[in-house]
Structure 1
Amino acid sequence: MIHGEFQQPGSITDLEEGAVFAPKFSADGLIACVVSDHATGRVVMVAHMNEEALARTIASRKATYWSRSRQALWVKGETSGHSQYVERMQVDCDQDVILLSVTTAGSGANCHTGRISCFYRDVDLSGDGTAPKLVTTDDTRHFNPTEIYKTD
């Protein structure tokens, strides 16, 4: 599939019940992508894709995203070696969110902090009247980010 070849959504019935993949990109040309570990089902990260990233992911089965901060395509694992290989791709009912089930190469870390998941902190919902605090629930790092992501 080449960039720009995704079909436009048809009727609501076609979109929600049909067999045509017609991803709905936002006004800024992006679609949200939730990524889970294929073996455990654990959500490991959330990213965004533009049409080209989605097309490349489908063609290669190697997760490719759009970096909003760098305004560039980002192939997961290009720098770290922790590439994500797509085992399954799903789309939600109105085709505006992608769900990838991936196997991650290397240490299995998906977060740039060296953790397995980007979701390693809980928001304390105790409701004690103070501002919510974050509680770290996974402090195990599978690599040292400063060694992997060197800045020149």
Structure 2
Amino acid sequence: MEYQLKINGQARSLNAEPGTPLLWVIRDELELTGTKFGCGIATCGACTVHLNGSPTRSCVTPIEAAVGSAITTIEGLNDPVATAVQTAWREKDVVQCGYCQSGQIMSAVGLLRQNPKPTDEQIDSFMSGNVCRCATYVRIKDAIKLASGKLEA
């Protein structure tokens, strides 16, 4: 079936079977490989993209649910919040193996867009669906707080 999607600001037309997870469309059809497969059941966060600005697990989102939505992948992040988060990630040396980081960044950007001054508890709650096998959670939280401060300045 043919679908029309808006991904990273571009209209894209592609063929896929109904029910195909958005993750596989993004990675396999559009070759945007920054979005990762982790668990396939929306519990690890590696596949996080933004659907109309909200962090969404693409591994369980069928393609038809994304039609008519603005889809943003890690490759398409480009605003002051994203820049603050990416800069803070580098300054705090968050990345260890890096596999989960696109999902972590997508969630952190979503958090700071909703709440530019989150408390530690709010960060923990919002980011709880993102798993990091290297356990860089302290650096992730520090980077989110640093990005929040950069947005304030």
Same fold? TM cut 0.5? no
Of structures 1 and 2, the one scoring higher in RCO (CA 8 A, sep 6+) is: 2
Which structure's residues are more often strand, by fraction?
1
Q: TM-score, normalised by structure 2?
A: 0.29
